[in-house]
Structure 1
Amino acid sequence: MSAYRICLLPGDGIGPEVVSAARRVLESLPLEFEWSEAGIGLAEWQLSGNPLPDETLQAIKSADATLFGSVTTPPDIANYRSPVLRMRQELDLYANLRPCRSIPHAISRPGINLLVVRENTEDLYIGRERIEDNGDTAIGEMQITRSASTRIAHAAFEQARLRGLKKVTIVHKANVLRQTSGLFRRVTLEVAQQYPDIPVEEMLVDTCAMELIRAPEQFGVIVTTNLFGDILSDEASMLVGGLGLACSGNIGAETAVFEPVHGSAPKMADLDQANPLATILSTAMLLDYLGEGGQARRIEAAVRTAIEQNLVTADLGGTLGTQAAADAIINLLGEN
């Protein structure tokens, strides 16, 4: 069997620590990997003047899959644009998948098994903003297209089938955003007709935010636009352990990038305190993408056992550091 080519993007803050921990977990599996590493983020901008060099984009394209850590994106640097948004758009990583499942821990609500499928390339995140009225008015453009809405809707229904989830909930704000959210709503309902075996409902985004708190167990797949998906998926993660466990995948037609949902947490950098489990769970998603579902399930089982045995970092009530938490996962994998 040939080795899987994996590109690592450690990034800023705690990114290098959690990516290093996750790499060691992957190396403990009975699989072969070829590793490459590329720069991204604020540190790369300070080094080269570009937070996402062309060489990094090429390294991602050349890999079978990519594991990304985190970046720091300051709001007050002129002409500095989020490298994450540019990466998603340049590589057309159109589907952002964020699973949310209950864990065996008192911090978690029970009975939750949902997936947020977020359109990842347009909406208010296209970067078209301007200042008018002598600096007193800021205007941003929202772009929703039929093509992007169609493919994210298909992704959502296919994920519901693949994962055996109970239904698809189309989330929008078409009562107010009648043209933009209205188009997304119409297109996703059209696509739903091609999946008669999967129950479908629609829900306003503010109602969905409330229902996630009231009765999150009712959801299967939530499909929505970029901004709404960004917010709702973070909200959902807090029901099952927080951002330290929140994993994600950015999926395109040609490649995929997997990452923890959390930020770079610069104040925690180099202190061996960051929770690596979100990144380790992201490697399970990466393995699924590569067709190694058996190994992915082993990692997920090891994470659940580590949580049950309190072999975790301080945010989950444990005493382990970043690398020791990764060691615990590796040891559990060795036992099973």
Structure 2
Amino acid sequence: MARRGLPLLRQLLRDSAAASSSPPPLKTLASAETRRSVTYMPRPGDGAPRAATLIPGDGIGPLVTGAVRQVMEAMHAPVYFETYEVHGDMATVPPEVIESIRKNKVCLKGGLVTPLGGGVSSLNVQLRKELDLYASLVNCFNLAGLPTRHENVDIVVIRENTEGEYSGLEHEVVPGVVESLKVITKFCSERIAKYAFEYAYLNNRKKVTAVHKANIMKLADGLFLESCREVARKYPGIKYNEIIVDNCCMQLVSKPEQFDVMVTPNLYGNLVANTAAGIAGGTGVMPGGNVGQDHAIFEQGASAGNVGNQKIVEQKKANPVALLLSSAMMLRHLRFPSFADRLETAVKRVIAEGKYRTKDLGGDGTTQEVVDAVIAALD
């Protein structure tokens, strides 16, 4: 029996070798090519719908937040909204809104108009201070199909959000004399620097640039730079450099592709982010968020200068792209990466095709037409 089994075994081995040397059927190749790799392994309960606080805001805010709601519903995103009416002319943010954000930990917000003068505090600043949203992140990048003066722009501006001139610490000393305080602390400077380097490290960014005016404000901006340098030494794989804010603005408009991640104090960051947004395609397409240790608010990345434009509101031609991309950031923050990818891909496809664009992007489309196009482009 053993002698008869040996030739049979040899034949089976020859057949197996011949089969392995021949190419696999086309059907097998096709299925192998289309098979997806494991990109996200959820923890138990990750797929449960998450509550998010929604503040439609003023002017165009309800239009663009309404656009986000429509797209979220169309792709059955696991997010539902608790909506609160907040307006920029209020004396303070209602306590129930703060409580909702503390509970949900995430908020999506339209623009809030800040009255000029009159002693009315900015509700945007109030929210950042109350929730300690110390990091503002704005991503300014070229969108395919949208012509701009510069190419290869992909800048992330990370701005300290709770102190400095922009925090509104000012008072009238005597009639006709106003004192505005710029407070810089080592604690806040270190944590914003660490946030910037952590972001660069986790997102495969190569360089962090600190923006400052330490040649004049030697103590305040000097402390900010000292903190950035200390943190930079802990990330030897990331290139670190520094630039004075006035030279930074000139370099941004002449050669923006040299910048990668930028970390800034409060006021400089607002100016740099808006400049970078204008270079990359306009404030209407740049996403952003304000992030703290426990809470996050996502909104249009650069200043929404058209929030109170009544003509845009009446014509219903507000650009929803920035807030749609910000909501994709929110989905990624909530650990729903596939929904974020679908939304981003659909928005970029609509921009690239160029058929449906609002006036700020060279078109004449309405908010609803852009929304309908994005929904149609969802995978």
Range of TM-score over shorter length: over 0.9
Alignment partner of 1:269 out of 313, 319, 324? 313
The reply to whether residue 305 of structure 1 matches residue 345 of structure 2 is no
AA matched with 2:68: A
Deviates most, 264-273 or 148-157 = 264-273
CA distance in 1, matches of 2:87, 2:118: 13
Please tell me whether the aligned partners of residues 39 and 52 of structure 1 are also in contact (alpha carbons under 8 angstroms): no
Q: Provide Cα deviations, 1:27-64, integer angstroms capped at 9, x if missing partner.
A: 22243222201132236x2xxxx341111111111114
Structure 2, gaps ≥5 residues long: 1-46
AA matched with 2:309: P
TM-score (norm. length: structure 2): 0.83
Q: Offset of 1:2 from its aligned partner?
A: 1.4
Alignment partner of 2:56 out of 10, 16, 34? 10
Alignment partner of 2:289 out of 238, 245, 249? 249
CA distance in 2, matches of 1:90, 1:96: 15
Please tell me whether the aligned partners of residues 4 and 64 of structure 1 are also in contact (alpha carbons under 8 angstroms): no
Q: Offset of 1:91 from its aligned partner?
A: 0.0
2:169 match: 128
The reply to whether residue 115 of structure 1 matches residue 115 of structure 2 is no
Please tell me whether the aligned partners of residues 77 and 339 of structure 2 are also in contact (alpha carbons under 8 angstroms): no
CA distance in 2, matches of 1:42, 1:216: 33
Alignment partner of 2:78 out of 14, 32, 52? 32
- How do 1:10-159 and structure 2 match up within 5 A? 10-42=56-88, 45=90, 50-78=91-119, 80-104=120-144, 105-107=146-148, 109-135=150-176, 137-159=177-199
Percentage of matched positions with identical amino acids: 38
Please tell me whether the aligned partners of residues 49 and 79 of structure 2 are also in contact (alpha carbons under 8 angstroms): yes
Q: Provide Cα deviations, 1:86-118, integer angstroms capped at 9, x if missing partner.
A: 100100001100001111211352101110000
Q: Offset of 1:294 from its aligned partner?
A: 2.4
Q: Offset of 1:70 from its aligned partner?
A: 0.6
Q: Provide Cα deviations, 1:256-307, integer angstroms capped at 9, x if missing partner.
A: 0000131423322243111010110110111111122222222222122111
Please tell me whether the aligned partners of residues 88 and 122 of structure 2 are also in contact (alpha carbons under 8 angstroms): no
Please tell me whether the aligned partners of residues 124 and 142 of structure 1 are also in contact (alpha carbons under 8 angstroms): yes
Please tell me whether the aligned partners of residues 54 and 107 of structure 2 are also in contact (alpha carbons under 8 angstroms): yes
CA RMSD of aligned residues (A): 1.4
SS of 1:11's equivalent? coil
Please tell me whether the aligned partners of residues 286 and 322 of structure 2 are also in contact (alpha carbons under 8 angstroms): yes
AA matched with 2:375: I
- How do 1:168-247 and structure 2 match up within 5 A? 168-247=208-287
Q: If you compute each CA radius of gyration, which structure gives the higher value, 1 or 2?
A: 2
CA distance in 2, matches of 1:222, 1:308: 27
Deviates most, 33-42 or 165-174 = 33-42
Please tell me whether the aligned partners of residues 118 and 224 of structure 1 are also in contact (alpha carbons under 8 angstroms): yes
2:376 match: 331
Q: Offset of 1:175 from its aligned partner?
A: 0.7
AA matched with 1:306: V
SS of 1:303's equivalent? helix
Please tell me whether the aligned partners of residues 117 and 222 of structure 1 are also in contact (alpha carbons under 8 angstroms): yes
CA distance in 2, matches of 1:271, 1:55: 33
CA distance in 1, matches of 2:105, 2:232: 31
Structure 1, gaps ≥5 residues long: none
Please tell me whether the aligned partners of residues 165 and 267 of structure 2 are also in contact (alpha carbons under 8 angstroms): yes
Q: Offset of 1:178 from its aligned partner?
A: 0.7
Q: Offset of 1:198 from its aligned partner?
A: 0.6
2:24 match: none
CA distance in 2, matches of 1:108, 1:38: 40
Q: CA separation of 1:305/1:120 partners in 2, compared to 1, >3 Å: closer, same or farther?
A: same
* Residue-pair matches, total: 327
Please tell me whether the aligned partners of residues 211 and 263 of structure 2 are also in contact (alpha carbons under 8 angstroms): yes
1:291 match: 335
SS of 1:70's equivalent? coil
